[in-house]
Amino acid sequence: MKETKTVGGQTYCFILALFLDSERLFTYTVSMTTEYKEKINQFYKTKKRMPSYSEIMKLLGFKSKNSVFKLVKKLEKDGFLSKDKKGRLIPQKMLSQFKVLGSVEAGFPSAAEEELSDTITLDEYLIGNKEATFILKVSGDSMKDAGIVQGDMVIVERNNTAKNGDIVIAEVDGEWTIKYFRKIGGKIFLEPANKKYQPIYPKEELKITAVVKAVVRKY
């Protein structure tokens, strides 16, 4: 190549070097995908949020954001993560998968055999709309008869409408609560799941903020 014109030769060699370097980087990215997923997952568990592109670049030791874009594109195809409308990263299949070994009798005891029927991740099972989902810690005992007690974590989906019988997070006359949403005979009120408490009829305003989708309790 040195036999060609000096400027042309230098330009050509430079382009070739860039091309080879990109190929090596891409091959390395594919071979290390599992390790990258583990590091991103660990970041998510520690920070309780997804890393930014700059944080991924630093976390994985990349030298440019272009490498991060390529990795994110691949992880999207794998279903590991996705993006919201603003381009921010959202976790998808990041939680560990667990084996589903059939069912267990909650009535009279019965014979049981271990049989793998499926695998599932908790986020797939509990969360329908990740962008609208958040977690709240329960305080008080007004919903104990619905199986929601002090210290439980409720997974809720942001929604300003609710069906009769839904358990909701609501603001009633300036105060927040978790109760059953009731609509009977044209009247709307909030009903506790504990006989010690009375139904709440809004005096001025009732705003539904979210609907409870699941309850998480650690024993």
Task: Count Cβ neighbours within 10 Å for each residue of 39-68 and write b for 16 or more, e otherwise.
Answer: bbbebbeeeeebbebeebbebbebeeeebb
Of the residues 179, 187, 213, 218, only one is catalytic, namely: 179
Strands 187-191 and 97-100: unpaired
Is residue 142 flagged as an active site residue? yes
Q: What is the DSSP letter of 96?
A: P
Q: Are the C-beta atoms of residues 143 and 127 closer than 8 Å to each other?
A: no
CA distance 88 to 206: 32
Instruction: For residue 28, give every residue at least 6 positions away whose Cβ sits within 8 Å of its Cβ, in sequence order, or none.
Output: none
Of the residues 54, 70, 110, 142, only one is catalytic, namely: 142
**Alpha helices of 48-185 — where are they, by DSSP H?**
53-60, 65-77, 122-126
CA distance 130 to 92: 8
The helix/strand/coil state of 107 is coil
Is residue 93 flagged as an active site residue? no
Structure tokens at 173: 């006359």
Catalytic machinery residues: 142, 179
